[in-house]
Amino acid sequence: MKPFSTLKIDQKNIDNLTSLGYTQMTRVQELTLPTMLDGKDVTAKAVTGSGKTAAFALALLNNLDVKRFRIQTLVLAPTRELADQVAQNIRSIAKYMHNVKVLTLCGGSPMRRQMQSLSHHAHIVVGTPGRIMDHLERETLKLDEVNTFVLDEADRMLDMGFIEDIEKISSYMSNKKQTLLFSATYPSEIMSLAKSLQNDAIFIESDELIQESKIEENLFKLGNDESRDELVLKILSKYDSDQSMIFCNTKIKTMELTHFLNENGVDAIALNGDLEQFERVDVLTQFTSLSSRVMVATDVAARGLDIKEMGLVINYDLPREKASYTHRIGRTGRAGMSGVACSIYTNYEQKFLDEYSMNNPNFFDENALENQKIKMILAPYKTILIDGGKKDKVRAGDILGTLVKSAGITNTHIGKITVNDRQSYVAVDRDSAQKAFDYLVNGKIKAKRFSIWLLES
């Protein structure tokens, strides 16, 4: 792997990357960045966790004139979660530049607030196709000065039916722009889209995530579906990861399995497409704050979640396409770390594994864990939700100070604090959480009272 210092980028940029932990380029960064920094269109095949976000972030910042306060970059993503993560990563990588404004435009947020933000202008917009189209049709968003257009996880946007929106969005921009397209798979529709949007694009393929990662792939065969839930409990107990993700094929199964795990002493939480946006934010915050150790999800959660230390992934049942399997097990073993991916399968599902498996897997029957003792898997923290955020002048330091000085909570018992525009979250050691909650319900933060909730799995 080559260092970032070999690229034609500013030394301040390199110093900032080093401070963020970026020293050596991943394979996809090494393959794409020289071409993108030269201003050429790129179509890249890269899976989740390969470092593609940092790659296109460096490229779009290379094209940015921070003194020109107009929208110069548009990044499209399939989901709000991915858009939020991409925007956050761009902000971090852009710290070496002064006053770069990144705006996120996604469904689930009030249109009026977004319109107000747009009236103050931005340099970079990250959004989902549907909400971007809403703003274009209302004429609240102008893309005529965009010089960099990025499509992240284009195959996922294709699956969600956004291809027509993408083509229409592109028509609002000048032809004289750099277009960067990233996708994990390349069905014919993606190739056609790339051809229609790009000029003389360079095609780059990087499938290194699964092959080069340190993923231990274990396959457990079932005799019948009735023992599937119990086998999940045994797998969780055997590998005992700080954070685990379980993938199910249906929304209802995520809820049923989460209920079963909770009843059996596992702090688990469900993420699926039936949740309202505020519920999704609550779930993701609880999980990333270590207030839940197990997330049970449908494939909608397989993309865009940047959880670097996922130790264990379980396929409760197998997906019906290889790309989904690759994305699922690619949630572990990221950034050079080791991880375990366990898949449960029946005779019927054997045919999928023959095509999917990529890592010389270990095969076990259901009796392999027959003597495995079931453990309690409890999260170290609980999360408190505060109905106040940046717009209310609430800062992380205000929450920390209130809990330590006024509520008498030792600072070592306070975990991650997340402050959003209108709401804030604080993780508190599970033994101190009730005391912190009771104080905040009756007390004040910065001389103000806020509505308070203690989130439960």
Q: What is the pLDDT of residues 66-106, one digit of tens each?
A: 999 999 999 999 888 889 889 999 999 999 998 899 999 99
Does some domain include residue 376? no
Among 3-7, 76-80, 184-188, 447-451, the least confident range: 184-188
Q: Rounded to an integer, what distance in angstroms lies between the CA atom of residue 379 and that of residue 292?
A: 5
Does some domain include residue 375? no
What confidence score (pLDDT) does residue 218 get?
93
The total of structural domains in the chain comes to 3
Give the end of a domain, one of 165, 183, 209. Answer: 209
Q: Is residue 164 located within the same domain as residue 199?
A: yes
Does some domain include residue 225? yes
Q: Is residue 136 located within the same domain as residue 268?
A: no
Domain hosting 324: range is 213-369
Q: Is residue 170 located within the same domain as residue 98?
A: yes
In angstroms, the Cα distances linking 50 to 30, 32, 34, 212 are 11, 12, 17, 10
Q: Is residue 99 located within the same domain as residue 10?
A: yes
CATH number assigned to the domain comprising residue 161: 3.40.50.300
Does some domain include residue 111? yes
Q: Is residue 135 located within the same domain as residue 87?
A: yes
Give the end of a domain, one of 314, 334, 369. Answer: 369
What confidence score (pLDDT) does residue 450 get?
96
Q: Residue 19's Cα: distance from chain center in Å?
A: 21
Q: Is residue 45 located within the same domain as residue 18?
A: yes
What confidence score (pLDDT) does residue 227 get?
85
Task: Read off the pTM.
Answer: 0.72
Q: What is the mean pLDDT of residues 343-354?
A: 85
Does some domain include residue 374? no
Q: Is residue 165 located within the same domain as residue 118?
A: yes
Q: Check whether 335 has a pLDDT greater than 90.
A: no
Q: Check whether 386 has a pLDDT greater than 60.
A: yes
Specify the length of the chain in residues.
Answer: 457
What is the helix (H) or strand (E) element at residue 386, kind and residue range? strand 381-386
What confidence score (pLDDT) does residue 206 get?
65
Q: Is residue 289 located within the same domain as residue 407?
A: no
Q: How does residue 377 score in pLDDT terms, banded at 50, 70 and 90?
A: very high
Q: Is residue 192 located within the same domain as residue 294?
A: no
Q: How does residue 209 score in pLDDT terms, banded at 50, 70 and 90?
A: very low
Q: Check whether 225 has a pLDDT greater than 70.
A: no
Query: Does 370 or 342 have the greater pLDDT score?
Result: 342
